[in-house]
Structure 1
Amino acid sequence: MGPRAALLLLSLACSCSAQKVKVRAEVTGYVGQDVTLPCTYSPDNSDIKITQVTWMKETGGKKTNVAVYSPNWGKNLPNPRISFLKESLQEPTLVIKSLMMTDEGTYGCEFATYPDGNEEGTTRLILLAEPRNSAAAVPGAVGDAVGDREITVANCTSANGKPPSDITWQSVLPGNVSTRVINNTDGTITVNSQYKIFPTSEANGKTVTCIIASRTASVPQNIPVVLSIQYPPEVRISGYDDNWYINRQQAELTCTASGNPPPSKYEWKTASGQPLPNTVDVVGNLLVVKTVDNLVNTTFLCQATNSLGTSSAQLEVLVRERAMAEQSDSIGAIVGGVIGALLLIALIGIVVFFVLRSRKTKDKATYTPKTRIFGNGATSQEFAYREDSELGKPLQGAPRLAEEIPCTQADEDDEKQNYELLEEDDERFNEVGPMLQLRPHIPHDAYLDDDMESQNDGSMISKTAVYV
C-alpha cells in the first residue's frame, strides 16, 4: 500500500444517516487521479422499498444532480467522468475519474423509499494537488569583489499544488528569503521562493539547497542549486622563482585569471609603459623570455578582460649576475675556509697546552727536597745531591768553596712549603699562561731576605728561584 492509499484510508470517516444510509464523511483525492465515493442503504424493515437513488453536488448552496439510477427509468450521468461503480439500488457507489479541482465539494447520496420517503448521506470530497517542484540559479546574477548590494541568486518554485507547499533553504552562504504565494484559477496554489545574498566571486560555484515539504509527499524534496555569479577577472602571475640570472634560457611567467564569464583576452605590458624587451615572446597568457638579460630586470604587468571589465596584476623581476647555486657555492667555500682556519687554530692551541702540561708534570716528577741549583752568573747547572756524590767531599789541593750543609727537619719543612707555593704558581700558569716567577708569594709580615741562603764563599742564592 502506497502513501497515497494510506493517506486516503486514514482520511476516510464513516457517517450514517438515520442508521440506514452509510457514507464516508470525508474522502481525499488527487488531481488527475480517480476517486471512489462509497454509499450503501441498510433498511431496518424489509417492507421498505427503494425506488430511486440520486447523487447530488452542492455548490454555493445549490444542489445539482450528477448521477441518477432508477430500476424503471435507467441511469442518468451528465458528466462523462462520473459513473456508478455498479448499478445497484443498495450500493450506488460513485466513481469520479481524472479528478479536477472543480470536482472538490460536498456530495449527497439520496435514496427515495416507500413508505419512509427520502434518506440521505453526505460526503466531503477534498482534493490534493501534487505540485511541480523546480529550482535553479538565476542567470546573469552579477557580483563584485565587495558584494555591496543584495540580489536574487536562486529561485525555487512549487507550482499548482494543493495545499500550498512549505519552502525552506539550506546554505553555507548567509542570505535572505523572499516567498510569494499565488492562487491559480483552477484552485491550485503556486509558491515561489527566492534566495538573496550579497554576491562576491567566492560565492560563484557554491551550492544552496531548496527544501520543499508538501502534504502530497511523505518526505521533503531537496533540490541542490549551484550558483552562477558573474564577476570581473581576478588576475595573478606565477612562474617567477627568484633565480633569473644573466643568460638563463627559457624563463616563463604565466598569467592566470578567474572570472565569470571566463576571460577572453590577455595582454602583457611593462609597468613603466616601456615596450617589452626583444628577448620576450607573448603566447596567450604566457610570457616567455628566450634569454635573460638586464632588460628583463623590470616589472611586468598582465591584463585580463571579460564582458564585465578588465583587471590586472604585476610582478617585479630581479635579474642576478649568476645563478643562486653558484653564489651559494662561493659563500660555502668562504664559510668553509673560515671554519677550517678556526679549527686549525684551536688544534694548535690544544697541542701547545698539552706540551706545556707535559713539561710541567715532568718537572714535578724529578723534584726532590734535596735538589740544589748553583750558578756563578755565567752558566747554569743542575745537580742532584747523592750520599756517595763527590760533590759532598772537600776538593783536594784547593780551597774549600763550599761545604755540605746538612738538611735539618726545619729545612725540609721550608722546602715542602716552597713546593706547595710552586704548585700554586703552576695553577696560575694554567689559567693565565707562562710567566717569570722569581720568588714565591711572600706574606706581608715576612722579610724578603728569608728567601735567600748564604754560601761558604760569601754569595747569596735564592732557595726557590731557578736560574736559566
Structure 2
Amino acid sequence: MTLLRQRCRLCLFLLLILAVPATPQVSVIVDGKANAKLGSDTKLYCRVETLELISQITWQRKLSPNNENFLTYSKGEEPLHLTPFGERVRFLGNGDLGGSILIPNVTLADEGTYLCIYTTFPSGTKEGEIHLSIWVEPSVEVQLNPVLLGPNPDIIAQCVAFASRPAANIKWHTNGFQYTSKETPTQHSNGTVTVQSQLWMTPSLGLYGHQATCLVSLPDQIFEKEINFSITNIQYAPQTVHVRVHRINEDLPLIECWADGNPPANYTWRRENGSIPDDVAQVKGNLLEHTDDNGLYVCEATNSIGRNSHSVYLYKYTGAIPRCYTGVCISVSLLAVLVILCAVCYYIWEQRNKNSRYE
C-alpha cells in the first residue's frame, strides 16, 4: 500500500511539471555605456540570446516626453529609417540575433540614451539600454608671457585646453621646483569647456632655462597630451659684465665685452671722458678693435630691464726693445758654454782628489 502511494505521488509530481509551461528565455545584450569622439563613426552594440521567434528589432532614442522610434527591422525586409536621424544610421544586424547599428560622423546632438528593443514570440518585447557620451578632443597650448626677475611668485606659464568635452584636467611637472596652480573653466553654449591653468613660481635666475611639462587629460583616459617647454620668459637686467683682451698680433688688440641678460643686451663702448673717435678705435657691437690710444675704456651692457658696465685700462708700450747683434750673441753663448765646462772639470778633479786621500 505504501509503495502504491509513493508511485501515485511521483506520477502526480510529473504531471504538475508537464502542466506548467516553461518560462521563456530572452536576454538582450548591450554595452551599457559607450564613448565616442566627435566626428567619429560609432557602433552601438546590441544582440539577443533566445530560442524564440524574432519578429522585429526596433531602435529608439529616449526623448521627452515620448521616446522616438528611428529605425525598425524585420527579417527578410530592408530596414525602415523613420526619422532624419534614422536616415543617417546604418543597420549592422545579420537578420537573426544581431541588431547593432552604426552612427557615422557623430555630433554633440547624438549624445543621449538609446533603446534596442526585440519583439519575440511568445514573450513580447525585451529591451537593452545604451548611454552614448560624445567627447571632444581639446586643442592644447602653453603660453609664456614676460615676467620680471623677483622674490615673489608670479605667473610663469599658462596651459590652456580649448573647447573640450568633458572639461579637461590639467597638471604640471616642474622637475622639483615648488609651484602652485590655479584653474579657471569657461563654459561654452555648445556644451564644451575651456580650462586655463596658471603656473605660479618664483621667477629666479636658477629657474631660467629649466624644463617644465603641462599634462592635459580627459576622464577614463580617452585623451592625454603632454607639452614640454623651457622657462625662458624670465626677464632681468644684464648681470656681471665681462671684458677680455685678445692679442691678434703685436699691434692690434681685440677687446671683447659680454654679459648675461634677458632680453639679450646691447653693448656700447666709450672712453672715460667721452666717446671714442673713429681714428682711435673701431667699435663693432661688443667688440673694440685696433685701439691706438691709452686710457680707461668702459663697456656698457643695456637691455629694456636695466644696464650694467665694466671698465678696463689699456696702455700701449712703445719703448725700444733691446736687440741682440749676431756677433755679440755668439760670443756670449760660447762664453757661457766654456764656463759650464770648466765647472764640470773642476768638480771631477775635486772628486778624484778626495778619493786619493782616502786611499
Aligned to 2:329: none
Q: Aligned to 1:305, which of 302, 307, 313?
A: 302
Sort the Cα spacing of 1:275 and 1:29 in 2 relative to 1 into closer, same or farther, 3 A: closer
Tell whether 2:148 aligns with 1:143: yes
Contact 1:69 1:87 in 2 (8 A): no
Q: Which amino acid aligns with 1:312?
A: N
Q: Distance in 1 between matches of 2:58 and 2:237?
A: 72
> What's the secondary structure of 2:264's corresponding residue?
coil
Q: Which amino acid aligns with 2:310?
A: Q
Sort the Cα spacing of 1:81 and 1:347 in 2 relative to 1 into closer, same or farther, 3 A: same
Q: Distance in 2 between matches of 1:36 and 1:350?
A: 109
Measured after TM superposition, the shift of residue 24 of structure 1 is: 0.8
Q: Distance in 1 between matches of 2:44 and 2:223?
A: 28
Matches for 1:38-77 after TM superposition, within 5 Å: 38-40=45-47, 44-45=51-52, 50=55, 53-59=57-63, 62-69=65-72, 75-77=81-83
Q: Distance in 2 between matches of 1:354 and 1:23?
A: 117
Aligned to 1:314: 310
Q: Distance in 2 between matches of 1:218 and 1:29?
A: 9
Tell whether 2:226 aligns with 1:222: yes
Q: Distance in 1 between matches of 2:28 and 2:180?
A: 49
Measured after TM superposition, the shift of residue 59 of structure 1 is: 4.6
Tell whether 2:103 aligns with 1:96: yes
**Contiguous gaps of at least 5 residues in structure 2:** 1-23, 325-336
Deviations 1:149-176 (A, max 9, x none): 3232333334444555443333347242
Aligned to 1:170: 173
Tell whether 2:249 aligns with 1:238: no
Contact 1:54 1:111 in 2 (8 A): yes
Measured after TM superposition, the shift of residue 82 of structure 1 is: 3.4
Matches for 1:19-418 after TM superposition, within 5 Å: 19-30=25-36, 31-40=38-47, 44-45=51-52, 50=55, 53-59=57-63, 62-69=65-72, 75-79=81-85, 80-85=87-92, 91-111=98-118, 116=123, 118-127=124-133, 129=135, 131-138=137-144, 140-144=145-149, 147-172=150-175, 174-178=177-181, 179-200=183-204, 203-214=207-218, 220-229=224-233, 230-234=235-239, 236-240=241-245, 249-263=251-265, 265-270=266-271, 272-274=272-274, 276=276, 279-291=280-292, 293=293, 296-298=294-296, 300-306=297-303, 308-317=304-313, 319=315, 321=317, 361=357
Sort the Cα spacing of 1:86 and 1:275 in 2 relative to 1 into closer, same or farther, 3 A: closer
Report the TM-score, using the length of structure 1 for normalisation: 0.53
Measured after TM superposition, the shift of residue 317 of structure 1 is: 1.9
Sort the Cα spacing of 1:274 and 1:121 in 2 relative to 1 into closer, same or farther, 3 A: same
Q: Which amino acid aligns with 1:176?
A: Y
Measured after TM superposition, the shift of residue 251 of structure 1 is: 1.8
Q: Distance in 1 between matches of 2:80 and 2:189?
A: 36
Measured after TM superposition, the shift of residue 200 of structure 1 is: 4.0
Q: Which amino acid aligns with 2:39?
A: G
How many residue pairs get aligned? The number is 317
Deviations 1:340-378 (A, max 9, x none): 9xx99x9899799779969x95xx99xxxxxxxxxxxxx
Q: Which amino acid aligns with 2:148?
A: G
Deviations 1:98-138 (A, max 9, x none): 2233433332233456665x413122224252523423341
Identity %: 21
Q: Distance in 1 between matches of 2:313 and 2:41?
A: 78
**Contiguous gaps of at least 5 residues in structure 1:** 1-17, 330-339, 366-468
Contact 1:67 1:76 in 2 (8 A): yes
Contact 1:66 1:78 in 2 (8 A): no
Sort the Cα spacing of 1:160 and 1:310 in 2 relative to 1 into closer, same or farther, 3 A: closer
Sort the Cα spacing of 1:317 and 1:113 in 2 relative to 1 into closer, same or farther, 3 A: same
Report the TM-score, using the length of structure 2 for normalisation: 0.66
Contact 2:243 2:310 in 1 (8 A): no
Sort the Cα spacing of 1:297 and 1:25 in 2 relative to 1 into closer, same or farther, 3 A: closer
Contact 2:31 2:44 in 1 (8 A): no
